[in-house]
């Protein structure tokens, strides 16, 4: 498959150069005249991408200077990390090269074998232990509280939570709590991909205070009630047909919103769909909106355009949406999809900036990122988090991305499958 191109020397050199530039720029970053809080998000092969992306993205929104560092041993792929569900991302640095660097927070995403790979990184273990001994804030989510922090002896006497099936792996010194997020002293733990935004916001609150946390949470449009079943506003219900495994195209561009793109890729692949991530740029590496996850696409859009898809669905992010709108080949694919009565969709800025101006919302109800919803001709459904109108699906923001992805699973594979995935994510 064309994803193998991600390992080419050209991509490796581009990845290393981009990461070097970003890290250099962050070295001079500051927040409102104050020294920016420094956050380390270590990643490794098998890391859960939703958890890593949400943590980095939300903390960046708060003004933190986030470094995503690979704990993997050096290899031919440079800083490219193959996270879970085939998500390829480019780290900013290596954990081993950060020895002696001070951070205000170290936050570990989960996933398997990602958590074990983090656990086995001696440089990371030393760094986190020194950080904690100096009173630093640290956290972990999903399998990582049990498989990594508890294994290192860093949750002794503390209340903590983790992915439910890993609770029994807590050492005897840990006080297990079945809660979505647990804060005890300087340790913050959480349960899984479906609690990742809650986890990240809890970290923001500990670093910056409640007011900043609420400021960051607002534009995300997080769920008003966590842990309940998701709902869809559906009109003109039709069956979304596919023969066999659903074939899904997720285009990405520089400036695409990483939480939305990664949710689509992760959740749909988790459900068994064959997801093709296609770059509309001039190369496979994509610099996402928050510059935290430089994604490696599976193939270029030109190659994907020769394939047939049961669904085409776009993430948001203003810059990415504008690139989509100006990419004729993608617009032509979307129009052909709509004319064939095959499903298509978008989230956040993309309904207003891609679908609306190209006539792809004509006669349809849709929702979009609230600050862009005035651009929709028909705004009557804009208050809903996810809207399905026939073969069209739209959604609002990063905080609705999991519901959006689950709604797609439901339409393609049935409600039972979607509920099963939602429970696996600890979304409900």
Residues with a known catalytic role: 348
Nearest C-alpha neighbor of 320 from the set 343, 292, 354: 354
Q: Whole-angstrom Cα distance, residue 196 to residue 202?
A: 10
**Do residues 347 and 318 lie in contact, with contact meaning Cβ atoms separated by under 8 Å?**
no
Element (H, E) at 181: strand 181-184
Element (H, E) at 208: helix 196-208
How many CB atoms are located within 10 Å of the residue 155 CB?
25
Q: Whole-angstrom Cα distance, residue 94 to residue 117?
A: 14
Nearest C-alpha neighbor of 256 from the set 220, 221, 294: 294
Q: Whole-angstrom Cα distance, residue 298 to residue 106?
A: 30
* Cα angle value 278/284/290 (rounded, 5°): 90
**Do residues 109 and 144 lie in contact, with contact meaning Cβ atoms separated by under 8 Å?**
yes
Element (H, E) at 418: helix 415-425
Would you tell me the crossing angle of helices 49-61 and 196-208 to the nearest 10 degrees?
30
Q: Which residues contact 379 (CB under 8 A, 6 or more apart)?
A: 373
């Amino acid at each position: 498959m064309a994803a193998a191109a991600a390992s080419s020397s050209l991509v490796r050199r581009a990845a290393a150069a981009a990461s070097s530039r970003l890290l250099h720029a962050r070295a001079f970053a500051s927040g409102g005249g104050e020294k920016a809080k420094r956050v380390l998000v270590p990643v490794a092969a098998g890391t859960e991408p939703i958890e890593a992306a949400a943590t980095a993205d939300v903390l960046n929104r708060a003004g933190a200077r986030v470094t995503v560092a690979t704990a993997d041993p050096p290899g031919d792929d440079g800083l490219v990390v193959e996270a879970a569900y085939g998500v390829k991302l480019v780290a900013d640095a290596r954990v081993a090269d950060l020895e002696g660097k001070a951070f205000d927070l170290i936050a570990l995403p989960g996933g398997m074998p990602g958590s074990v790979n983090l656990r086995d990184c001696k440089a990371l273990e030393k760094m986190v232990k020194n950080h904690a001994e100096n009173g630093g804030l640290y956290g972990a989510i999903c399998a990582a509280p049990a498989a990594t922090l508890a294994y290192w002896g860093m949750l002794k006497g503390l209340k903590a939570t983790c992915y439910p099936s890993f609770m029994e792996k807590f050492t005897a010194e840990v006080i297990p709590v079945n809660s979505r997020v647990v804060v005890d002293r300087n340790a913050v733990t959480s349960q899984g991909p479906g609690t990742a935004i809650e986890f990240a916001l809890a970290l923001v609150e500990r670093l910056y205070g409640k007011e900043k946390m609420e400021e960051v949470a607002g534009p995300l449009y997080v769920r008003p009630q966590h842990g309940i079943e998701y709902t869809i506003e559906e009109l003109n219900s039709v069956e979304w047909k596919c023969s066999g495994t659903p074939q899904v195209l997720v285009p990405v561009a520089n400036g695409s919103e990483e939480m939305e793109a990664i949710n689509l890729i992760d959740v749909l692949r988790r459900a068994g769909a064959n997801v093709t991530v296609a770059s509309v740029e001039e190369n496979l590496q994509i610099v996402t909106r928050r510059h935290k996850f430089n994604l490696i696409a599976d193939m270029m859009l030109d190659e994907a355009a020769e394939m047939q898809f049961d669904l085409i669905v776009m993430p948001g992010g203003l810059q990415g949406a504008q690139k989509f709108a100006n990419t004729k080949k993608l617009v032509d694919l979307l129009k052909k999809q709509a004319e064939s009565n095959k499903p298509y969709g978008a989230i956040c800025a993309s309904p207003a900036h891609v679908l609306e101006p190209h006539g792809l919302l004509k006669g349809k109800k849709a929702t979009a990122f609230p600050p862009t919803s005035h651009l929709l001709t028909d705004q009557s459904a804009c208050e809903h988090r996810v809207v399905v109108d026939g073969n069209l699906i739209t959604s609002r923001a990063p905080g609705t991305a999991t519901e959006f992805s689950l709604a797609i699973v439901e339409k393609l594979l049935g409600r039972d499958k979607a509920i099963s995935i939602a429970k696996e994510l600890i979304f409900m």
